Structure 1
Amino acid sequence: MAAISLALIKQVREDTGAGMMDVKKALTEAEGDVARAKEIIRAKGIQAAGKREGRKAQEGTIASKVVESGEGQVGYAVEVNSETDFVAKTPKFVEFADSVLADAVKAGADNADEVLAAPSAEGTVKESVEEAAALFGEHVKLGQFAKVAGEHVEIYAHKKSAEMPPSIVAMVATDEAGAAVAHEVALQISAMGAKWLTREDVPADVVESERRVATEKSQAEGKPEKIIPRIVEGRLNAFYKENVLLEQQFVKDPSKTVNDLFKQVGGKAVAFARVEVGKGEEE
């Protein structure tokens, strides 16, 4: 029997678009005969993964976990997308997402590219995702990835309904004292979708754009020129209160800000992340 080399597998994969494991099985059955392996793939009706690439995968789930580290805790969240929520809610798809998360944690990945390159049962996570497309019969892809670290990390996973897996995951990293209000803050992040922790974290170009829009809007409204700077600052402050976590009104008690919650317990937040299914980069 001819050896089933990686080069042989790659050749058949490129010619058929089938997944790695399907190609390997076909080549083994065909005893290394490439032409016969292609026939077997066609006969079994194995759909080329490449043919699914044009189909959008905007459903899915988010697997998340907190792990202990030498400095405290690290929170991971990995979005895995499918085309339909029918597939997303199946136990096998949820189990697959958990396996991707486990590979990301084991590799200590810091971004989505490192998750894809992480070792997995099928070689790499990237290859496992490609294999999953054949398994589930839909375009499957790795979506957003988030990681936060601190003395304490709190995770809140939100489900749209009881039968669905998590569609929003909010994570917040705090110091030890801040852990006392971390759960409430995680709920806040999930519901209100803050983009930055402090106003100092807002990129300068974003601030400049908001300032420009506020100025032009004030001018279009016919506001007196001498009071426009004050109006612009007021509108900028409103922008911060909407988008900066620590400046947001606390949902359960609007008389307080999120920062007030931390002040009450003498703690602080150091980082946060929010991942929502289907809200990453467009394909």
Structure 2
Amino acid sequence: MANYTAADIKALRERTGAGMLDVKKALDEADGDTQKALEIIRVKGLKGVTKREGRSTAEGIIVARAENNVGYMVEVNSETDFVAKSAPFVEFGNKVLDAAVAADAADLESLLATEVDGKTVSELVTETGALLGEKVVVRRVARVAGDHVAVYLHKTSKDLPAQVGVLLAVSGADAEAAAHDVAVHIAAMSPTFLSEEDVPAETVENEKRVAEETARNEGKPDKIIPNIVQGRLKGYYKDVVLVDQDFAKDSKKSVGQVLSEAGATATAFARFRVGA
């Protein structure tokens, strides 16, 4: 019988994120040699890459940071929350973020092609999936630049790494405190657009059409329908436009008002939620 302990199994599981049965089999095959077992897990993982291609990756991590007034954020996905919270997976997520910062990556294609220690991020994805025994995906990357960039990461569960991330760029000399509060607001309220001008024209026209048809179906008089349409369009903006939303910490004010009072202007933002 191979010479290893329960502590050896636990340590190898934490190091690889692999299942208990896989770890025990690897240790048995390696006669208790941890390094050999680690290599066995990796090799078997590489052989299973094709089998994992069609699997769902709904779990994962959001990592982000800002440097020199530029913020970067990356979503990396796994199949299970067990792997998502494992040390190797979290380390891999941070390595991908480092690559995004070093390459000033603003799109996924350039990030995946970035080299880290002689290998592309794409190759590291394959290797990490092999080690962890699950499909691993770098799903998306965001880059936001401005006079000041606030970064906010939110844990939806205390047992998991951050599942929601926000980058917010603002202008204004004393905007940092307000930027943080608005970044927290974005995490909670998930706006789609920064301003009304950012809403596509076809989306606006569709909202107007729906509002008008609804008003007519409700039997509203023709003369008041334009006002109803504008009112409902304003309501739509309050739902999806950041600066029009009621501020989460004080619903008597809009986000735009809060920023204005702080002498700040929001110029760009990005929000990621794992799997969304």
TM-score, normalised to structure 2, is 0.81
- Residue 236 of structure 2: SS of its match in structure 1? helix
C-alpha displacement of 1:255: 0.7
Question: More displaced, 96-105 or 117-126?
Answer: 117-126
Mark the CA change 1:91 to 1:238 in structure 2 (over 3 Å): closer, same or farther.
same
C-alpha displacement of 1:226: 2.1
Q: Please say if 1:60 is aligned against 2:67.
A: no
Q: 2:269 aligns with which of 268, 272, 275?
A: 272
| Alpha-carbon distance between aligned partners in 1 of 2:221 and 2:117, rounded to the nearest angstrom | 67
| Alpha-carbon distance between aligned partners in 2 of 1:46 and 1:243, rounded to the nearest angstrom | 43
Mark the CA change 1:220 to 1:121 in structure 2 (over 3 Å): closer, same or farther.
farther
Contact kept? 1:178, 1:269, Cα under 8 Å:
no
Contact kept? 2:45, 2:129, Cα under 8 Å:
no
- Map of 1:177 onto structure 2: 174
| Alpha-carbon distance between aligned partners in 2 of 1:54 and 1:272, rounded to the nearest angstrom | 32
- Map of 1:192 onto structure 2: 189
- Map of 1:21 onto structure 2: none
- Map of 1:101 onto structure 2: 97
Contact kept? 2:156, 2:163, Cα under 8 Å:
yes
- Map of 2:86 onto structure 1: 90
C-alpha displacement of 1:45: 7.3
Contact kept? 1:76, 1:148, Cα under 8 Å:
yes
- Map of 1:227 onto structure 2: 224
Identity %: 48
The code of the aligned residue for 2:92 comes to F
Question: More displaced, 102-111 or 221-230?
Answer: 221-230
- Map of 2:47 onto structure 1: 47
| Alpha-carbon distance between aligned partners in 2 of 1:238 and 1:99, rounded to the nearest angstrom | 42
- Map of 1:256 onto structure 2: 253
Q: Deviations over 1:69-111 (max 9, x none)?
A: xxxx111110000011110011110000000110111111111
- Map of 2:117 onto structure 1: 121
Q: Please say if 1:144 is aligned against 2:149.
A: no
| Alpha-carbon distance between aligned partners in 1 of 2:44 and 2:106, rounded to the nearest angstrom | 39
Contact kept? 2:45, 2:131, Cα under 8 Å:
no
The code of the aligned residue for 2:157 comes to S
Cα RMSD over matched residues?
1.7
Contact kept? 1:122, 1:128, Cα under 8 Å:
no
- Map of 2:203 onto structure 1: 206
Which sections of structure 2, spanning at least 5 residues, go unmatched?
A: 1-39
| Alpha-carbon distance between aligned partners in 2 of 1:139 and 1:77, rounded to the nearest angstrom | 21
Contact kept? 1:215, 1:232, Cα under 8 Å:
yes
C-alpha displacement of 1:227: 1.5
The code of the aligned residue for 1:254 comes to S
Contact kept? 1:62, 1:168, Cα under 8 Å:
yes
| Alpha-carbon distance between aligned partners in 1 of 2:168 and 2:176, rounded to the nearest angstrom | 9
Mark the CA change 1:44 to 1:255 in structure 2 (over 3 Å): closer, same or farther.
closer
Question: More displaced, 248-257 or 113-122?
Answer: 113-122
| Alpha-carbon distance between aligned partners in 1 of 2:44 and 2:81, rounded to the nearest angstrom | 26
| Alpha-carbon distance between aligned partners in 1 of 2:217 and 2:92, rounded to the nearest angstrom | 53
C-alpha displacement of 1:44: 5.2
The code of the aligned residue for 1:133 comes to G
- Map of 1:244 onto structure 2: 241
Question: More displaced, 227-236 or 116-125?
Answer: 116-125
The code of the aligned residue for 1:80 comes to V
- Residue 177 of structure 1: SS of its match in structure 2? coil
| Alpha-carbon distance between aligned partners in 1 of 2:275 and 2:185, rounded to the nearest angstrom | 20
> What is the number of residues matched between the two proteins?
235
C-alpha displacement of 1:236: 0.5
**Runs of 4+ that moved beyond 4 A:** 43-46
Q: Please say if 1:130 is aligned against 2:143.
A: no
Which sections of structure 1, spanning at least 5 residues, go unmatched?
A: 1-39
C-alpha displacement of 1:214: 1.3
